[in-house]
Amino acid sequence: MTADPLLRVEGLQVHFPIKRGVFVDRTVGHVRAVDGVDLAVDRGSTYGLVGESGCGKSTLGRAVLRLVEPTAGQVWFDGTDVASLSGEPLRRMRRRMQMVFQDPLGSLDPRQDVESLLSEPLHAHGLGGGRAGIAERVRTLLDAVGLPSAALRRYPHEFSGGQRQRIGIARAVALEPDLLIADEPVSALDVSVQAQVLNLLEELQERLGLTYLVIAHDLAVVRHISDVVGVMYLGSLVEQAPADVLYEQPLHPYTRALMSAVPVPDPVVEENRERILLAGDLPSPANPPSGCRFHTRCPWRQETRCDDEAPVLRELGTGHLVSCHWAEEIRDGVLTPRSAEEVAATMGVSIRATGVENPESDALVQGLDAPIERR
């Protein structure tokens, strides 16, 4: 049964209620952070999830670990439905799935020195074989992530960002997990240090046979580290393909736009590459567009099918899934793109703010008069 994927996600939805009201919290709608995602991660491989801010990447990762309860759908880990677990079996399963966070300083207790940070999870799960065994394990871990043993007595704030991320990774692999979910593992780091951490992740995967779900907004980073890449837009996967195939032949208009927007550190490439500028901002996940969710910004949108009918994720090549009605026509050049200005003009420009901290004053919440969904 080793051919089974280690992680399988089916029809996963996470909807957060939007509450409003002076005396009684009234649910006025839902943020559809994750809205029906299917994916599978093979053992020993890396699945990279990309997408822009607020598309639901982190929520998906958290739902896999059951740090948030899914609204619907299933998560299968090593053949077991995670939702069916509780108590000790859930605890054991959680040990096999660990997370690495974006901000290493925020995720490490500042009052604990490195030794206690690394030995704590071992104690908690009764692993490592006694005091001496744990001390030995901790030293091996430090060595594995390239930190000197002098680091043991020091505290998180005494390290640079890259070193802190190494500590976070050491802590995550301490329990010998099978799956590591890394949420923006390098985006807070300096360029020269990002590469150190990416190399470390690759090396540990090889040595420990780890399976990775890497979540990041940087397509170049994701492509570098992943075997399979999934592109998310407003809570759904719009395209999934082996990393090379996705780069060679992106089929979804959003993927193409995203790729054309990633700056490449080469002036010759920059001067000659295709640029697809998108109109406007990401629409609100509380009030996603009808039909194809990308239709408000899509340079290839075709009336009225794109506005009315939601495309399904379908396989166009081996392992290459795309959710666009017109993927073949776009690939073959039968349909041609419109400019961002034209799209903005034809869509009558509906640009709503996203990512606002204060939901009460959030334009998207204010604009929401009727509940989208009652339950």
Ligand X SMILES: Nc1ncnc2c1ncn2[C@@H]1O[C@H](COP(=O)(O)OP(=O)(O)OP(=O)(O)O)[C@@H](O)[C@H]1O
13 binds Mg ion (CB under 5 A): no
Among 37, 234, 243, 343, binds another protein (CB under 8 A): 243
Are 92 and 144 in contact by the 8 Å Cβ rule? The answer is: no
Cβ distance to Mg ion smaller for residue 57 or 301: 57
Helix H, strand E, coil C: the string for 107-146 is: HCCCCCCHHHHHHHHHHHCCCCCHHHHHHHHHHHHHHHCC
The residue type of 144 is A
CA-wise closest residue to 111 among 159, 164, 155? 155
Q: How is residue 205 written in tokens?
A: 């995967």
Among 3, 22, 150, 191, binds another protein (CB under 8 A): 191
Beta bridge partners of 13: 35, 72
HSE-CB of 107 using CA atoms within 13 angstroms: 23
Among 6, 49, 55, 58, binds Mg ion (CB under 5 A): 58
Cβ distance to another protein smaller for residue 80 or 199: 199
- Residue 59's SS3 state is helix
CA 14 to chain centre: 14
Residue 6 DSSP one-character state = S
Longest Cα–Cα distance in the chain: 69
Q: Pattern of binders to ligand SF4 over 241-280, x per CB under 6 A? A: ------------x---------------------------
The C-alpha atoms of residue 282 and residue 211 are separated, in whole angstroms, by 31
285 binds ligand X (CB under 6 A): yes
Q: Pattern of binders to ligand X over 49-68, x per CB under 6 A? A: --x-xxxxxxx---------
Among 62, 294, 313, 368, binds ligand SF4 (CB under 6 A): 294
Residue 257 DSSP one-character state = H
Binding partner of residue 58 among Mg ion, another protein, ligand SF4, none, CB under 5 to 8 Å per kind? Mg ion
Residues 343-372 that bind another protein (CB under 8 A): 344, 349, 351-358, 361-363
19 binds ligand X (CB under 6 A): no
Q: Give me the least distance between CB of 117 and ligand SF4, in Å please.
A: 34
Q: Where are the beta strands (DSSP E) in 119-219?
A: 179-183, 211-216
Cβ distance to ligand X smaller for residue 303 or 357: 357
Binding site for ligand X (CB under 6 A): 16, 31, 33, 51, 53-59, 217, 285
Give residues in contact with Mg ion (CB under 5 A): 58
Residues that bind another protein (CB under 8 A): 52-53, 160-163, 190-196, 198-199, 217, 219-221, 223-225, 243-244, 247, 257-270, 275, 277-278, 280-282, 340-341, 344, 349, 351-358, 361-363
